Chains A and B, each alone.
Chain A
Amino acid sequence: MTVGQLSRQCILAAGLLLALPALADETGPLAVVPKPRAEANPEFGCVRPEEDMRKHHMDYLMVHRDDTLRRGIRTRDFSLAECVNCHITPKPDGQYARFGEKEHFCSSCHTYAAVRIDCFECHRDTPDPEKVRETAQQNPHRGLAADSNHPAGIMPVSATVGEAR
């Protein structure tokens, strides 16, 4: 195992640890991973089983971005816009947490595990306010597919987790 692989394992282990809420009380200041606002799938919550997402979300995202940009494949599952639309943290002032604040889903673990990503230098770090607020009740899973003209249409959401806005 190279040093790179070793450190990757360590970081992953850290990432996995913080996902265990039971540990949080006993071991002090672990990152709090914010609750998403909706479930993609009644069986496993996220677009893939949670354990799988914790370990492999970066790989899925990287493959999907090339598929979308270079080949024009616009499926929803690993769309970054869709992650951001489900995994949001509403704040008391009516705004959403921004990337960089530890309440932002994609900052929560990364701050803890010292992972730095540049995605939100370009990508929007909060859901599109117009799109989210007007139709959140009908479909909390907004994003690319929020566009009713989009062939992907609207993904059925069985239950709404967290605060629906």
Chain B
Amino acid sequence: MDKKSNQTDQARRRFFGQVAAVASLTVAPGVILQQVAHARSPEEPASDKNRWGILINTNKCAEGCDACVTACQDEYGWGPNGPETRSSDLQKAQWIRKVKLTDKQTGHVQTLPLMCQHCEHPPCVDVCPTGASMKRADGIVLVDKHICIGCRYCMMACPYKARSFIHEELHDQKVNAPRGKGTVESCTLCVQRVDAGRQPACVEACPEQAMIFGDLKDPESAISRELRENGGEQIRADLGLNTGIRYQGL
């Protein structure tokens, strides 16, 4: 117990050290980031000039912290306080979850948030019989619930178990998250926030700033620079899906 919290403290200290070191540098790029993330006008469609992604530093991701998960639940109205009352825990929506990895040999524990990885070659889109499972021009993978028939092939095809299915009638949904019985859903990378030039809710909520959101196609974005300098891995890179969500420190 003590050991673990010690480790977290060390990780925190390392993190704050890094922050102090780069603080002066990030002022100018921060401004650039603002410009890059500037919202499109509402009538302009999403374009393939962008590809949105998140880089997650698992070293900064504290065990026991689920700020990203609760932020997502608050934003979209799923989870323990959501409208699903009759579904079992296994059936309930799961847009993002914390996963714990323990190295059996060393006992080293790591946690990380796992959600839709927004693949460039998404298996869920390949198997969808209606075209409901889709990838937007800017790389965001979505369910078009208007034509989803609830067959759940996509749930089975997803190697990350990122999708869930709504089993009961719902009322009082959030305005920004229409949800209803008989359709599949998953992380939308906060598409309506991204369209408005904002960051996803999980990224904004992370107390350790362990997540960087940005445009993978813009070499000057914070996420691209960090990936270039310090690298980042895909989960199950062997599948060749080219995910938009990348991890450091796995």
Q: Is the CB of B176 within 8 A of A144?
A: yes
Question: Would you give the shortest CB distance from B143 to chain A, in whole angstroms?
Answer: 9
Judge whether A72 and B134 touch: CB under 8 Å: no
Q: What is the bound-complex CA distance between A83 and B76, given in angstroms?
A: 20
B177-202 CB mask vs A (1 if < 8 Å, else 0) is: 01111010000000110011110000
Restricting to A134-165, which residues have a CB under 8 Å from any CB of B?
143-144, 147, 149-152
Residue B90 CB within 8 A of the other chain: no
| A72-B191 in contact given A122-B183, A151-B41 (Cβ < 8 Å) | yes
CB-contacts of B121-167 with A (<8 A): 134, 136-138, 142, 144-146
Closest CB of chain B to A143's CB: distance in Å? 7
Interface pair A75/B146, CB less than 8 Å apart: no
Which of B40, B46, B145, B183 contacts A151 (CB under 8 A)?
A: B40
Given contacts A69-B142, A122-B145, contact A152 B42 (CB under 8 A): yes
Give the CA-CA distance A151 to B43 in the complex, in Å. Answer: 10
Known contacts A69-B144, A72-B191: A151-B197 contact under CB 8 Å: yes
A72 — which chain B residues lie within 8 A by C-beta?
Answer: 40, 45-46, 136-138, 191, 195
Min distance, Cβ A37 to any Cβ of chain B, angstroms = 16
Contact between A73 and B45, CB atoms less than 8 A apart: yes
Q: Contacts of B175 on A, CB cut-off 8 Å?
A: 81, 124, 127-128, 131, 143-144
Contacts of B173 in A (CB 8 A): 122-124
CA–CA, A126 to B46, complex, Å? 29
Q: Tell me which residues across on chain B come within 8 A of A67, comparing CB atoms.
A: 45
Q: A124 near B42 (CB under 8 angstroms)?
A: no
Does A74 lie at the interface of the complex (its beta carbon under 8 Å from any beta carbon of B)?
Answer: yes
Within 8 A of B (CB), among A94-137: 118, 121-124, 126-128, 131
Bin chain A's interface residue count. 20 to 34
What chain B residues lie within 8 Å of A131 (beta carbons)?
175
Q: Cβ of A70 < 8 Å from any Cβ of B?
A: yes
Is A76 interfacial (CB-CB < 8 Å)? yes
**B192/A144 in contact, CB under 8 A:** yes
A73 to B192, CA, bound (A): 10
Q: Please, what's the 1-or-0 string for B47-66, where 1 marks a CB less than 8 Å from any CB in chain A? A: 00000000000000000000
- Asked if A91 lies at the interface with its beta carbon under 8 angstroms from chain B, I say no
Closest Cβ neighbor of A99 among chain B residues: B171
Contact A73 B43 (CB under 8 A): yes
Chain B residues, CB < 8 A from A152: 42
Contact B40 A70 (CB under 8 A): no
B residues near A73, Cβ cutoff 8 Å: 42-45
Report how far A151 CA is from B144 CA in the complex, Å: 23
B169 within 8 Å of A (CB atoms): yes
Chain B residue nearest in CB terms to A151: B39
Q: Which residues from B are CB-within-8-Å of A127? A: 175
Q: Which of B145, B146, B174 has the most CB of A within 10 A?
A: B146
| Other-chain contact of A147, B144, B170, B180, B196 (Cβ < 8 Å) | B196
By a beta-carbon cutoff of 8 Å, the part of chain A in contact with chain B is 65-67, 69-76, 81, 118, 121-124, 126-128, 131, 143-144, 147, 149-152
Top-7 shortest CB links A-B: A72-B46, A122-B180, A122-B178, A121-B180, A71-B45, A151-B39, A123-B178
Jot down 9 A-B pairs with beta carbons below 8 A, ordered by A.
A69-B146, A70-B134, A72-B40, A74-B192, A75-B43, A123-B178, A124-B172, A150-B42, A151-B40
